[in-house]
Structure 1
Amino acid sequence: MFYAFNTVVSLQAFAEEDACREAFQRTLNACRRFERLFSRTLPRSDISRINDARGAWVDVSRETFDLLTASVRYCAESGGVFDITMGSAVRLWDFHRGIIADEAKLKAALRHVDWRGIEFDEAESEYDGKARYRIRLDDPDSSVDVGGTAKGYIADAVGAILLQAGVHSFIVNLGGNVLAHGMKPDGNPWKIGLQDPRETRESGKILGAVPLMDASAVTSGTYERSFERGGTTYHHILDPETGFPVQTDIAGATVVARTSLDAEGYSTTLLALGKERAVRFVREHPSIMAAYLADDEGRVVAIEQPSRPA
């Protein structure tokens, strides 16, 4: 267990002791590297350099290129309710101190929100023949924030490291992004709890448990970072159209998918869409194995993809 990405990263694995020790060290090193690449607040990260480039091309790592390429796909599939260029609007809120964004500043920031303005360039370097990855924002005042996809990408990378090290029974938890492989030593599947939106995560109270094997589960919830002012609750999932918390009849959306990147990339979209449209979205996206939509009263709608013949 260690701290990274503003959350606690925990890893439970069953294998030979030497393999587990090696895998843990490699995992720790990889997470430190990913934090240096994807952080919006570290000044020399790939994401910070893209945001500070004022529209110029920026050379980035293959990992950053792949993460942003995938992130743009989730933006497109969501119809814009999920947008990774919300960085300038997100910065105007402070959900830890309970600060509401200034409406005039928010309106100005929203003029620079458009995921379609992210441009990609992949070419062979004229110096050493190696692949070169570049990204630019066509709006100099736009700002990328990969908080809605980065942990999914990292969880998948951690899973690959564990498998390469010969560890085949494990569960990784990146602050709610859960990736499980294999079974427990007793032969039972791993299980993840569905958070009760009426309770805090620390309470441990859940609405039920879902078995998880060779898959990931990620939850987006309006209760995760929120505060109340004047009888109104403000949560951290913002509407790209208004800059204010999205209006939805879903308090928590849990997505189960083969990859943690898919699970995270789709969970925020489902929450923002609301129950009726979320059900249709799941049916139209077979990479979502199952989804569990909880409302403020703790009622859960479960949607599972129909089984297909082998």
Structure 2
Amino acid sequence: MSEQTTDSIPLADTFVFEGPSESGLCSATFYAFNTVVTLQAYATDSCSASARQEDAATEARSAKDLCGIFEAARDRCRFFENRLSRTLSRSDISRLNNAGGAWVEVCKETYELLRHSLRYCEESGGVFDITMGSVVRLWDFHQGVIPDEGDIAEALAHVDWHTIKLGMREELNPRNNICRRPRFSVRIADPMASVDVGGTAKGYIADDLGKLLQNNGLSSYVINLGGNVLAHGLKPQGEPWRVGIQDPRASRESGNILGAVPLENASAVTSGTYERCFTRNGRAYHHILDPKTGLPVQTDLAGATVIARTSLDAEGYSTTLLALGKDAAVRFVRTHEMILAAYLVNDEGQMIIVARE
């Protein structure tokens, strides 16, 4: 079951910078990972003098500076896309999936993402499994394609996150036998298995972009990778950034939300059955697939939003909570201290807030 791949990234050259607004807000928008990425921060050349004095580290960050920093973030996204995409033929993930069980050398970032992803697989008890790639590619939620039962059964036989093996060795300088750098390798013990990091990659990338922005002197910003939101610092007037909780009865484009959550030095990520779905013969099909059946998971939740310090944790746990259903999700939150809060929403828009005491 070889993966259909391509060598091009859609809209790779698109980059729109806007601002500063009257309040000093600057935004950059571009397309990556099949979604719209938005970066926002305030230019100090348009903020009040008191706001500039509050943080000397960002005092020199003009709108021109921000544009350059945001372009660097766009380039970093291209780095990740070229290594983590399941459909780009040259990526680490594609090479791994097509290696026939052999070891594949990967970059440090791919190795770290897979290592973290395996932890979420283990903690979920198998509800979340990154080897669902062979099943995921059978479905087409844009065209409303339902796979054949036999094809699903065949693909499920190769779903098992335990088959992923990680290896690291140190490359030595032959002249002086001093360690020069580590080398990272991965293999899938089952040659027919396929890795899909779509359930963790954007969280890992958001955290990486946050480090890039901070290393360039930004202490207040918000990163939105198609719903994966990471916010740091406060707005110039001391207000927190805020992220809306989607109403499952309305489209994301409608802007209808159930409420807004303040975010400061934290991330909010939502998994929802309404995000990619279609209806066939009166039955709804959504993209959160059950590793046991290969079909959309049966759950009494329409959405689960996780608040965590890192976007990787927020994303890694959001899908698990949605798949577990309300009661099990509440218990899961109570036993996982990395989750600061969870907002669980059913089909009728009723929300349960589970906050860490």
Amino acid at match of 2:40: Q
Aligned-partner SS, 2:262: strand
Q: Deviations over 1:161-188 (max 9, x none)?
A: 0000001111110000000000111211
Q: Deviations over 1:139-195 (max 9, x none)?
A: 000000000000000000110000000011111100000000001112111111000
Alignment of 1:127-142 (within 5 A): 129-142=180-193
Alignment identity in percent? Answer: 63
1:11 aligns with 2:62: no
Q: In the alignment, which of 75, 81, 85 is matched to residue 121 of structure 2?
A: 75
Aligned-partner SS, 1:130: strand
CA distance in structure 1 between the partners assigned to 2:69 and 2:102 by the alignment: 38
Instruction: Give the conservation status (yes or no) of the 8 Å contact 1:190–1:213.
Output: yes
Q: In the alignment, which of 86, 95, 115 is matched to residue 40 of structure 1?
A: 86
CA distance in structure 2 between the partners assigned to 1:234 and 1:280 by the alignment: 26
Match of 1:2 in 2: 30
Alignment of 1:1-310 (within 5 A): 1-15=29-43, 16-17=61-62, 18-126=64-172, 129-306=180-357
CA distance in structure 2 between the partners assigned to 1:200 and 1:22 by the alignment: 33
CA distance in structure 2 between the partners assigned to 1:181 and 1:229 by the alignment: 42
How far 1:126 sits from its partner (Å)? Answer: 4.3
How far 1:113 sits from its partner (Å)? Answer: 0.2
Instruction: Give the conservation status (yes or no) of the 8 Å contact 1:95–1:226.
Output: yes
Larger C-alpha radius of gyration, 1 or 2?
2
CA distance in structure 2 between the partners assigned to 1:22 and 1:198 by the alignment: 39
Instruction: Give the conservation status (yes or no) of the 8 Å contact 1:288–1:305.
Output: yes
Instruction: Give the conservation status (yes or no) of the 8 Å contact 1:39–1:45.
Output: yes
Instruction: Give the conservation status (yes or no) of the 8 Å contact 1:19–1:166.
Output: no
In the alignment, structure 1 segments of 5+ residues that lack a partner are none
Q: What TM-score, normalized by structure 2, do the two folds share?
A: 0.85
CA RMSD of aligned residues (A): 0.9
Amino acid at match of 1:212: L
CA distance in structure 1 between the partners assigned to 2:68 and 2:35 by the alignment: 23
How many residues are aligned here?
Answer: 306
How far 1:22 sits from its partner (Å)? Answer: 3.0
Q: What TM-score, normalized by structure 1, do the two folds share?
A: 0.97
CA distance in structure 1 between the partners assigned to 2:67 and 2:34 by the alignment: 24
Any runs of at least 4 consecutive aligned residues in structure 1 with deviations exceeding 2 A, and if so which? 126-129
